[in-house]
Amino acid sequence: MIYKVSYVVIGGQHRGMIANQDEAPQVGQHIELAGLMCEILEVQELVPPLEDFAYLHVTCRLLEETGDS
Amino acid sequence: MEITLPILHAVDLFTGLNETQLAALAEIGQVSEFNRGDIIMKEGEQTTAVYIVLKGQVEVVSELNENTTSLIILGAGQSFGEMALLDAGPRSATIRCLSPEASMLAFSREDLLAFWDRECRVGYRMLFNIARDLAFKLRIRNLTNALPREAGYL
């Protein structure tokens, strides 16, 4: 399964991101979004899966800036 | 960057296409490389190619009313430029390379429409996938518009 995931970060310090990934995001997981470390707060299925693709919406909170990009 | 079938299988715009169809599509696409800060398309310009991010990240930027607003980041597997593919109108946003390096697969509107005329099932599937992707983005917009004012917007 490929997960098409939209990320939104509470607090407005990140403009959000859409990416396709091999693994499903998990609540509590720490991820880097374009230079910002974030913690996943909520994962919801946005629309039903289609063939090999699942469509998810993730809400995160900012942890720290990595300065990577 | 070499285009491989596993890379194309991970693109939702190509969902439902078999390996023969994917290989034929790869033949009419063109791979372009970009570096951080490069402008891939400019808001308002009259270009009509559609792009797929093969590697790296790009930033979607709105420059309406002389205010530059970063709208969202697109990573590998995402497509952009579909609106001009459908209506041949001016670009609705600027796309800028955000990662140190990025690779795009670009299809000219003319080549893609001609291909869809020859391969109608491919055309049906890709148009369905484009519509589904636009619906996905509209649902995201609806969700984020419902967030409090201080939340991040797409």
CA-closest candidate to residue B134, choices B86, B65, B62, B66: B86
- Cβ contacts below 8 Å, chain A against chain B, sum to 101
Q: How many Cβ atoms from other residues are within 10 Å of residue B94's Cβ?
A: 20
Distance CA B143, CA B148 (A): 11
Query: How is domain B5-143 classified at the CATH fold level?
Result: Jelly Rolls (2.60.120)
Whole-number Å distance between alpha carbons of A5 and B149: 22
d(CA B80, CA B56): 14
With beta carbons under 8 A apart, name residues in chain B contacting A55.
136
Confidence category of residue A67, pLDDT binned at 50, 70, 90: low
Return the amino acid letter for B135.
A
Out of A18, A55, A57, whose CB is closest to B143?
A57
B29 contacts B21 by C-beta, under 8 angstroms: no
Decide if B75 and A11 are in contact by the 8 Å CB cutoff: no
Q: What is the pLDDT of residue B21?
A: 95
CB within 8 Å: B70 and A50: no
Q: In this predicted model, what pLDDT tens digit does every residue of A7-43 receive, in sequence order?
A: 998 876 677 899 999 999 999 999 988 778 899 999 9
In the predicted model, is pLDDT for residue A60 greater than 90? yes
Nearest to A18 among B11, B74, B135 (CB): B74
Model pLDDT, residue B25:
93
Q: Is the distance from CB of A43 to CB of A17 less than 8 angstroms?
A: no
Whether A1 has its CB under 8 Å from any CB of chain B: the answer is no
Mean of all residue pLDDT scores within chain A: 87
Sequence ranges of the domains in chain B: 5-143
Total of domains in chain A: 1
What is the extent of the structural domain holding A30?
2-65
DSSP B16-46: T--HHHHHHHHHH-EEEEEETT-EEE-TT--
Please name every residue paired with B96 in a beta bridge, in sequence order, or none if there are none. Answer: B39, B59
pTM: 0.85
**ipTM greater than cut 0.85:** no
Predicted local distance difference test score (pLDDT) of residue A51: 85
Q: Is the pLDDT of residue A69 over 60?
A: no
Point out the residue among A2, A13, A51 whose CB comes nearest to the CB of B152.
A13
For residue B42, report the phi and psi dihedrals to the nearest 5 degrees.
-115, 135
pLDDT per residue rounded down to tens, chain B (154 residues): 778 888 888 898 999 999 999 999 999 999 999 999 999 999 999 999 999 999 999 999 988 767 788 889 999 999 999 988 889 899 999 999 999 999 999 999 999 999 999 999 999 999 999 998 888 888 888 877 766 544 443 3
Q: What is the pLDDT of residue B35?
A: 97
- All residues of chain A having their beta carbon less than 8 Å from the beta carbon of residue B137 are 6, 18
- For residue B103, the SS3 value is strand
Residue B141, chain A, CB below 8 Å: the answer is: no
**The B39-41 sheet, strands edge to edge:** A30-33, A36-50, A53-65, A2-10, A17-21, B69-74, B58-62, B94-97, B39-41
Between B19-28 and B120-145, two packed helices, what is the crossing angle to 10 degrees?
80
